Chain A
């Protein structure tokens, strides 16, 4: 069968490439405004980012956030989304939205995948439901997200069943064709394919080849970040990006730890999402350049310095600098006791992630990404002996020796 091709509703404007690593800086022009790449996308699963108003999310610098198709399909449901005029209007978010598909569903014991689609039990009444590639796209058309994802057959990368892995990969390609066919608004919504194939590099190569041939506006690498070894993760990302066209955005799904972002950028990835930064905020964990601080630890109860010294988020800036002047001690005082405590740390963590991407982008544009990476790891760890081996190896593979001076 001849692969289907499709129009694109985005422009990928390459601004600079690292002369050593595979890192790229770009501006992605989407229907709801330009977004800088590389980018971290906060996850507003149910059309809300954990207590923050759209205005607060905007102020933290976010211009592209995630919604979950599956959740919005259940609540508020397709009929409401159609009546309201899509998810942007529904949540009063003037910027871009990317909708992830039903990733986790197929991983749960509750779901079963057939050629037709994913069968699972309705969380509302326990009745069986069937989700097909066509339905997934139809929902995302109703949501009106700027970037939509194909329905894919995901199984845990750690699965030892190679035959099932191959089946899932091939099925994902077939489903992509059905998604392309079902997509009603290719002129304003960008469909991304999702490369599958587990940790098997040959399967990944084959999948990449098939999917690149379909010429979707952007490409995602899926099925990762599910507990596999980091070395294997890096190999998959490195292999896939090596086969991808330069002029398209590359999205690695479910990645969010700062060191993962920095390494993945060096391996040629542009877009990332993860609930970790916002979830961990609700547990009182602050992301900083020197690591994650658990502000529920009593040691911070009498620490009246900002969450992160020098941070430019509205929480950390002093009142004199136009910020709120929130201290670690105060976060300790409110975390898990008042929801506002979670809101404050969520603002900080989202800002941290977005700012890290901004700094990485500047470094790439100025062609000093290797030095930036070294600086990043030097700050994060107490000495080179503490550097994770996977990161050292992965970066060595793209020409950066973390252990040298």
Chain B
């Protein structure tokens, strides 16, 4: 990538600049069009979205599929997915001795925009309260905390394109006291200074990350101290804002208006997305995409919505997604949604996807996830078009009239849930995280295609999924009893 002839003048080159151009903007609380670009990375048109990752991947989408079968131009990576060995060991990702180590580690394409933050999206509440210097995080092996210094050093080492400044937010707390809100403002201000100071240690000819300053989910006047400092002392050091409550767009200081706005106010539905867009939000991670995928729901909406005349059953509003678990799809040779040009819709049909879900084959979720991301991609393109044509407001009204307000409830089972994907309050529930796949049938089994390649006697006879697929569901039947009641011709 480096031009050899330019090498001697490297020091004179400008640092990588993040350019955010507002292509269209009207008043303060109105939808706007923008373009976020960074040398060497794909341009992100806004409103737009980033791939929301878990452990470095968009769930279910392996890296080759990511490059080939999605149009995702940028990803959001939470640091908490990479630091489980703390504090006993230096996390592996910090030991990679190359440029751009995080990108290398997660094998992200060179031109994909890389944004890091501390917490997953959405963040799972941590039991321990944040302190003046540390925030709680949840790693795959449990709750930990990281300091602001550590976070800044991590950003310095990992060389992402954009870093979301560390924010003191007590996730999961319903009511926050005034004094606590004061602290949030104080700490976040101080942590912003930490990361800016750390970035100043980067040599001029080294690639520098860009900082998005958090805007806390509390009333404007309660974080005014922080916002004043942001505006007075740091505004030329930050490249964007990370907004935890979209209502705060109303109170965003004038000086920060031109910066790109990334939403950490998780939208529950496309309608919620539209609401935030109408307030002038630019960049999103859309956690409901993966949630829908895990529930086996293929998203089915476009923006603008189709003309009302196409509505089935006259008055009823159309569903935002198709529950692919339903057996009614088992003979359907149509794609997930008619006009979609994603890999899934071009190559496969509903019957296959329904089969994959009911057979609990991983490919089912892969195909739905590819489709759901394509639907979001088209949705955002439609939104930008609509803003450009000055029809956004009408289009939103039509969308809300056309579609149901919420995504359909899930009926089938999702893929196996891992602990770190699990909301903490759910831990206390009496139900199991994952239903039992099968019960041992009593006798030791021995199957050609099912034997474990393991010499340990205690597990040698264990059979895992493949051999017994198709036999699950026998839980409520006592096979012995069933078998004895069988009348066989040979017994007569």
**A residues within 8 Å of B by Cβ?**
43, 45-56, 59, 70-71, 74-76, 79-80, 83-84, 90-92, 103-104, 107-110, 112, 114-116, 119, 121, 123-124, 126, 128, 154, 156, 225-227, 253-254, 257, 274-276, 279-280, 301-302, 304, 314-315, 319, 324-327, 329-330, 332-334, 337-344, 347
A104 CA to B451 CA in the complex, in Å?
A: 11
| Also in contact, A339 and B359, with CB within 8 A (given A80-B330, A80-B331) | no
Are A110 and B441 within 8 A (Cβ)? yes
Q: CB < 8 Å: which of A123, A280, A338 contacts B472?
A: A123
Are B446 and A56 within 8 A (Cβ)? no
Q: How far is the CB of A102 from chain B (nearest CB, A)?
A: 11
Q: CB < 8 Å: which of A45, A119, A327 contacts B486?
A: A119
A80 CA to B354 CA in the complex, in Å?
A: 12
Are B477 and A257 within 8 A (Cβ)? no
Q: CB < 8 Å: which of A53, A75, A275, A315 contacts B367?
A: A53
Are B479 and A110 within 8 A (Cβ)? yes
A/B interface sample: 19 pairs, CB < 8 A: A45-B449, A46-B361, A49-B363, A79-B331, A80-B330, A80-B331, A103-B447, A107-B445, A108-B441, A121-B474, A123-B472, A304-B104, A319-B110, A325-B107, A329-B105, A337-B418, A338-B55, A339-B362, A344-B63
Are A334 and B56 within 8 A (Cβ)? yes
Are A45 and B466 within 8 A (Cβ)? yes
Q: How far is the CB of B52 from chain A (nearest CB, A)?
A: 13
Are B453 and A104 within 8 A (Cβ)? no
Q: B57 within 8 Å of A by Cβ?
A: yes
Are B477 and A333 within 8 A (Cβ)? no
A151 CA to B281 CA in the complex, in Å?
A: 63
Are A254 and B448 within 8 A (Cβ)? yes
Q: How far is the CB of A220 from chain B (nearest CB, A)?
A: 12
Are A119 and B488 within 8 A (Cβ)? yes
Comparing B38-46, B343-351, B388-396, the segment that makes contact with chain A is: B343-351
Q: How many A-B residue contacts, CB cutoff 8 Å?
A: 221
Chain A residues lying within 8 Å of B366, measured Cβ to Cβ, are 51, 53, 339, 343
A349 CA to B472 CA in the complex, in Å?
A: 27
Q: How far is the CB of B407 from chain A (nearest CB, A)?
A: 22
Q: CB < 8 Å: which of B106, B363, B482 contacts A52?
A: B363
Q: How far is the CB of B30 from chain A (nearest CB, A)?
A: 39
Q: Which of chain B's residues has its CB closest to A74's CB?
A: B470
Q: Which of chain B's residues has its CB closest to A124's CB?
A: B473
Chain B residues lying within 8 Å of A45, measured Cβ to Cβ, are 449, 466, 469
A83 CA to B449 CA in the complex, in Å?
A: 29
Q: How far is the CB of B446 from chain A (nearest CB, A)?
A: 6
Chain B residues lying within 8 Å of A92, measured Cβ to Cβ, are 347-348, 352
Chain A residues lying within 8 Å of B367, measured Cβ to Cβ, are 53
Q: B231 within 8 Å of A by Cβ?
A: no
Q: B333 within 8 Å of A by Cβ?
A: yes
Interface positions, chain B 438-460, Cβ under 8 Å from A, are 441-443, 445-451, 453
Q: How far is the CB of A99 from chain B (nearest CB, A)?
A: 13
Chain B residues lying within 8 Å of A124, measured Cβ to Cβ, are 473
The tally of residues in B whose CB lies under 8 Å from a CB in A reads: 75
Q: Which of chain B's residues has its CB closest to A292's CB?
A: B453
Are A84 and B351 within 8 A (Cβ)? yes
Q: CB < 8 Å: which of A119, A275, A340 contacts B449?
A: A275
Interface positions, chain B 300-341, Cβ under 8 Å from A, are 330-331, 333
Are A227 and B446 within 8 A (Cβ)? yes
Are A302 and B59 within 8 A (Cβ)? no
Chain A residues lying within 8 Å of B105, measured Cβ to Cβ, are 304, 327, 329-330, 333
Q: Which of chain B's residues has its CB closest to A276's CB?
A: B453
Q: How far is the CB of A82 from chain B (nearest CB, A)?
A: 10
Are A54 and B347 within 8 A (Cβ)? yes
Are A50 and B361 within 8 A (Cβ)? yes
A126 CA to B356 CA in the complex, in Å?
A: 22
Are B447 and A107 within 8 A (Cβ)? yes
Chain A residues lying within 8 Å of B420, measured Cβ to Cβ, are 337
A156 CA to B450 CA in the complex, in Å?
A: 13
Chain A residues lying within 8 Å of B284, measured Cβ to Cβ, are none
Are B482 and A75 within 8 A (Cβ)? no
Q: B60 within 8 Å of A by Cβ?
A: yes
Are A123 and B473 within 8 A (Cβ)? yes
A330 CA to B60 CA in the complex, in Å?
A: 15
Q: How far is the CB of B287 from chain A (nearest CB, A)?
A: 15
A274 CA to B418 CA in the complex, in Å?
A: 28
Chain A residues lying within 8 Å of B96, measured Cβ to Cβ, are 304, 329
Q: CB < 8 Å: which of A55, A119, A338, A340 contacts B347?
A: A55
Are A339 and B56 within 8 A (Cβ)? no
Q: Which of chain A's residues has its CB closest to B106's CB?
A: A330
Q: Which of chain B's residues has its CB closest to A52's CB?
A: B363
Q: B358 within 8 Å of A by Cβ?
A: yes
Q: B65 within 8 Å of A by Cβ?
A: yes
Q: CB < 8 Å: which of A123, A257, A301 contacts B470?
A: A123
Are B448 and A340 within 8 A (Cβ)? no
Q: How far is the CB of B107 from chain A (nearest CB, A)?
A: 5
Most-contacted residue by chain A among B85, B363, B472 (CB, 10 A): B363
Q: CB < 8 Å: which of A51, A114, A253 contacts B488?
A: A114
Are B95 and A342 within 8 A (Cβ)? no
Most-contacted residue by chain B among A90, A114, A337 (CB, 10 A): A337
Q: How far is the CB of B60 from chain A (nearest CB, A)?
A: 5
Chain A residues lying within 8 Å of B470, measured Cβ to Cβ, are 70-71, 74-75, 123
Are A121 and B477 within 8 A (Cβ)? yes
Are B450 and A75 within 8 A (Cβ)? no
Are B490 and A114 within 8 A (Cβ)? yes
Are B92 and A339 within 8 A (Cβ)? no
Q: Which of chain B's residues has its CB closest to A66's CB?
A: B449
Can you name 16 extra interface pairs (CB under 8 A) apart from A92-B352, A110-B471, A226-B446? A43-B449, A48-B362, A50-B361, A56-B65, A59-B64, A92-B347, A104-B449, A104-B467, A121-B486, A126-B477, A128-B482, A128-B486, A302-B95, A333-B56, A333-B105, A337-B55
Q: B62 within 8 Å of A by Cβ?
A: yes
Interface positions, chain B 81-123, Cβ under 8 Å from A, are 82, 85, 92, 95-96, 104-107, 109-110
Are B365 and A71 within 8 A (Cβ)? no
Are A109 and B443 within 8 A (Cβ)? yes
Q: B54 within 8 Å of A by Cβ?
A: yes
Q: Which of chain A's residues has its CB closest to B363's CB?
A: A48
A113 CA to B212 CA in the complex, in Å?
A: 69
Q: Which of chain A's residues has its CB closest to B479's CB?
A: A110
Q: Which of chain A's residues has its CB closest to B466's CB?
A: A275
Q: B140 within 8 Å of A by Cβ?
A: yes
Are B448 and A226 within 8 A (Cβ)? yes
A315 CA to B65 CA in the complex, in Å?
A: 12
A333 CA to B358 CA in the complex, in Å?
A: 29
Q: B203 within 8 Å of A by Cβ?
A: no
Are A47 and B355 within 8 A (Cβ)? yes
Are A46 and B469 within 8 A (Cβ)? yes
Q: How far is the CB of A43 from chain B (nearest CB, A)?
A: 7
Q: B464 within 8 Å of A by Cβ?
A: yes
Q: How far is the CB of A255 from chain B (nearest CB, A)?
A: 10
A340 CA to B451 CA in the complex, in Å?
A: 24
Q: How far is the CB of B43 from chain A (nearest CB, A)?
A: 21
A116 CA to B470 CA in the complex, in Å?
A: 23
Chain A residues lying within 8 Å of B446, measured Cβ to Cβ, are 107, 156, 226-227
Chain A residues lying within 8 Å of B110, measured Cβ to Cβ, are 319
